[in-house]
Amino acid sequence: MILGWTLACAGLANARPAHGVPPGRFARVKDVATIEGIRDNQLVGYGLIVGLRGTGDSSQTVFPAQTLISALERMGVTVPQTGSNSASNMQVKNTAAVFVVATLPPFSRPGFRVDVTASSAGDARSLEGGILLMTPLYGPDGQIYAQAQGAVVLGGYMSSAGGSSRQLNHPTTARIPGGAVVERPVGFEVKQLRTVSLILNDADFHTAEKMAGAVNLAIGSNRARAIDSRRVEVVPEGNEDIASLIDRVEEVEVEVFPRARVVVNERTGTVVIGGTVRLLPVSILQGGLAVNVQSEFQVSQPPALSGGTTLAVERERVDAQDKPVNRIMLKQGATVEDLVQELQQIGAGAREVIAILQAMKEAGALEADLEVL
């Protein structure tokens, strides 16, 4: 049987009867929460890639030539001014203007190297074989935090000859491993923290309370408390080492209770159902009426010597087919695996599966958050 959709089930082994109590799972604090203030920072810059093999920006894109003129002038090279706009008269096909992005990890110090990604900002066909010239990377505050430079690495290619071309992946986006050097540290010190705030990845009051209790048990005092469904605060003692406290807190195993969720991607026909989803008894009838209208052109040939004219006559044919109704019965204690097997047996397509899940949600038979991408 060939189905036009993909259905994945996470944690089918943990599926349970609908009347059971949702079990939790144990995970480390560092896997389900982050420390407030300890975070990545996004950097962005604008630069120029040179050394391309005729696959750079064309003369229709003006700003790469302007960038090249500015770079040459800073190096003491004067570009002859011809016409009202010198940039429009330059024919340089081996350069490409790019935007460069990078992620600055927490506690990065000057001299630390980070990976960068360069993407074409003009109409360049490929960045293969290029070298990124020194590009300053700016933070949200407008300050320069790193300098990027180096040879680019592509995950694809583009080749053309004789009017034909072949392309693999995206040759206008490239990576430079370790291509940026940090020049300025982010002004954040752990020792300045007065409280250690744990931010849960998924907001849940029950998980927050369990985390606070597990942390208190690990550190031997009642210094952790849940503030809301996402935040748990731990108050350090007077002269306590904050880094040591964070180390102990992050290694604590806590019982978490993830929300039951069904994720549907209508574009790709993918449905992912978590093992914590509860299914209640329900009866599903699935069928449909298919109407097909076909137009056929027939030649009308008059009898010989009748003086008539040969004409093309359009004839329409309407076919209606009422599909048989498919029935799914989910009884008390049905699991996600049962739902998967039933949907596969009736040969449900991607759109039909999405419609069935939405109908189950409206009928109250699907106790989970339904998220459509």
Whether the Cβ atoms of residue 256 and residue 198 lie closer than 8 Å to each other: no
At 368 the pLDDT is 79
Q: Per-residue pLDDT averaged across 197-206, rounded?
A: 91
Whether the Cβ atoms of residue 95 and residue 118 lie closer than 8 Å to each other: no
- The alpha carbon of residue 269 and the mean position of all alpha carbons in its chain are separated, in whole angstroms, by 16
Task: Specify if 356 maps to a domain.
Answer: yes
Task: Specify if 268 maps to a domain.
Answer: yes
Whether the Cβ atoms of residue 367 and residue 260 lie closer than 8 Å to each other: yes
Pick from 167-181, 275-289, 316-330: least confident = 316-330
Distance CA(175)–CA(152), nearest Å, equals 6
CATH number at residue 231: 3.30.1360
In terms of domains, do 350 and 249 share one? no
111-162 tens-digit pLDDT: 999 999 999 998 888 898 899 999 999 999 999 999 999 999 987 666 666 5
Tokens 């290619």 correspond to 157
Tally of CA atoms within 13 A in the half-sphere of 70 that contains its CB:
10
Cα 41 to Cα 88, 105, 146, distances in angstroms: 37, 7, 12
At 5 the pLDDT is 42
Task: Specify if 84 maps to a domain.
Answer: yes
Distance CA(266)–CA(354), nearest Å, equals 8
In terms of domains, do 234 and 164 share one? no
Q: Per-residue pLDDT averaged across 208-220, rounded?
A: 93
In terms of domains, do 155 and 225 share one? no
In terms of domains, do 154 and 216 share one? no
Please tell me the total count of domains within the chain: 3
Task: Specify if 241 maps to a domain.
Answer: yes
Task: Specify if 327 maps to a domain.
Answer: yes
In terms of domains, do 279 and 346 share one? yes
Q: Where does a domain end: 182, 211, 234?
A: 182
Taking every pair of C-alpha atoms in the chain, what is the biggest distance, in angstroms?
A: 115
In terms of domains, do 56 and 171 share one? yes
Domain region containing 216: 25-38+189-256
Indicate the pLDDT class of residue 239, thresholds 50, 70 and 90.
Answer: confident
Task: Specify if 357 maps to a domain.
Answer: yes
In terms of domains, do 11 and 58 share one? no
In terms of domains, do 82 and 121 share one? yes
Asked if the model's pLDDT at residue 305 lies above 80, the reply is no
Structure tokens at 158: 């583009």
Q: Where does a domain end: 182, 200, 231?
A: 182
In terms of domains, do 73 and 121 share one? yes
At 89 the pLDDT is 56
Task: Specify if 93 maps to a domain.
Answer: yes
Whether the Cβ atoms of residue 8 and residue 272 lie closer than 8 Å to each other: yes
In terms of domains, do 135 and 156 share one? yes
Task: Specify if 1 maps to a domain.
Answer: no
